Amino acid sequence: MAAEFLCVRCARHQRTCCQDSEIYVSLADVRRIQPFAEGVEFTEFRAPGYPVHEQQIEDPFWHKHVFQPDGTRRVIKQVNNGDCFFLGPNGCRLPVENRPIVCRLYPFDYTAEGLKPQPVSGCPLELLAPGAELLPTLGMDRDEAERLRAQLYEEMCET
């Protein structure tokens, strides 16, 4: 019997990264996602609900290119319960290659300078098998993540 995927265990244990999260999307993300939105507007401009998203000091590039002068930024809409617009009963309804880059990068933490050595907090590490590490368990590759991070920062500059 195959081991249950970590994200499935997480969803039973707690709210996940697809719930109550404010997912920034670049214009390029919007273009990649649009064919799967069934004609529905899936983004909105909103001010951060959580101070952690105010990255003016830690990543000034992010702050300069993501935030509008009024303090809002383009994010995926949430449904009434806080779930991502694209979260379905079996996970994300978007093909992996069409998901927002920030989603594909999670749980990597990063700035304009590069990937940080440790992933962001939020994934329940206590659900990992004994001796297992988070990134290999999720099938995450640092080289691919760095490529995606560079792409994200390039796309941020698009107006």
Which tens digits make up the pLDDT trace of 3-49?
Answer: 566 676 677 776 777 887 889 999 999 999 999 999 999 999 999 88
Task: Identify the pLDDT of residue 1.
Answer: 42
Q: Which residues pair with 121 in a beta bridge?
A: 123
DSSP-derived secondary structure letter, 40: -
Distance of CA 152 to the CA centre of its chain: 11
What number is the average pLDDT over the span 94-121?
Answer: 90
Alpha-carbon separation of residue 106 from 2, 30, 39, 159 (angstroms): 24, 18, 27, 24
pTM for this prediction: 0.85
Q: Taking 80 as the threshold, does the pLDDT of residue 60 lie above it? A: yes
Q: Taking 70 as the threshold, does the pLDDT of residue 144 lie above it? A: yes
Q: Taking 70 as the threshold, does the pLDDT of residue 128 lie above it? A: yes
How far apart are the C-alpha atoms of 142 and 134, rounded to whole Å? 12
Print burial letters for 80-101: b (CB count within 10 Å at least 16), e (below 16): eeebbbbbeeeebebeeebbbb
